[in-house]
Amino acid sequence: MAAGIGAAAAVVHAGPIITSIRQLRVRAFPALAGVGSATHVALTFDDGPDPASTPLFLRELDRLRYRATFFMLGEMVDKHPSIAEEVAAAGHEIAVHGYRHKSHLERTPGAVFDDAARAVDTIAATTGTAPTWFRPPYGSVSFGTLRAAMRLGLAPVLWTCWGRDWRPNASPDTVVADVDRALKPGGTVLLHDSDCTSAPGAWRSGLGALAPLAERFAELGVEVGPLGQHGVANKRPQVEGHAQASDLLYLEAASGIEPLYRDLQSLA
């Protein structure tokens, strides 16, 4: 993975053609993109825990008999520790989204590390589990992200398809359509169990999409579960040297670029 990161980072720096970055991500960094076993789809939720919405997701996931990965914000865990405990007690996988929801591109590598370390401490102390996955806010991966992950023993992982459920005009139908556009066996699906960084009530579109998405997963014939059961490499990156926070490796959600995710079958 270390060699892969170095090689593709060089490509990004040499030719930052923004529309190619997603394709590059899936091709060159299948583990970072969350490409796993072709018999499995990983279901992941960001931005919680949130007392207004997370319990409803837990109930629906129970009904569907799914276990998922929750990328928690340390700040939300500190505000709502009992909800974080509930997610862990329900058997879901606990992962790190950061302490505050701020792009790593706007932070120094030292600040990125401090934020991630604080999130790990908070999440581990509250849920009683040691997280191993790290998804930075907005999917913006900088040199500082990778170095923080290395130092904290975390594996960075993004997603292969998303529901764009954070948008004010999203609905369960648009979420299903957006996920479906890029959904392949082996993929990692990104949804949100809180609206704390998005339009008020936006989580309802993701919640409403779970049942129809379950039908799509069944049609694909894939198992649905957390990243820990996804068969994706859980490796912390190896990075050396120093860099500026602006050393962008990826710019994802913040740019609003649609997924370019055509070659997953050949990778799986």
The residues that touch Zn ion, with contacts defined as CB under 5 A, are 46-47, 137
Compute the distance between CA of residue 123 and CA of residue 87 in angstroms, rounded to an integer.
11
* Residue closer to Zn ion, measured from CB, 98 or 187: 98
**Does the active-site annotation cover 92?**
no
| Proportion of the chain in helix, strand, coil states, percent, rounded to 5 | 50, 15, 40
* Residue closer to Zn ion, measured from CB, 47 or 115: 47
Q: Which helix (H) or strand (E) holds 162?
A: strand 161-162
- Residues 95/133, Cβ–Cβ less than 8 Å: yes
Shortest Cβ distance from residue 68 to Zn ion (Å)? 15
**Does the active-site annotation cover 46?**
yes
Shortest Cβ distance from residue 96 to Zn ion (Å)? 11
* Residue closer to Zn ion, measured from CB, 185 or 198: 198
Active-site residue, from 40, 92, 97, 192: 192
Full DSSP string of 185-213: TT-EEEEES--TTSSTTTHHHHHHHHHHH
* Residue closer to Zn ion, measured from CB, 47 or 75: 47
Shortest Cβ distance from residue 185 to Zn ion (Å)? 25
Active-site residue, from 46, 50, 178, 193: 46
Chain centroid, CA 3 distance in Å: 22
Shortest Cβ distance from residue 22 to Zn ion (Å)? 18
User: What residues are labeled active site?
Assistant: 46, 192
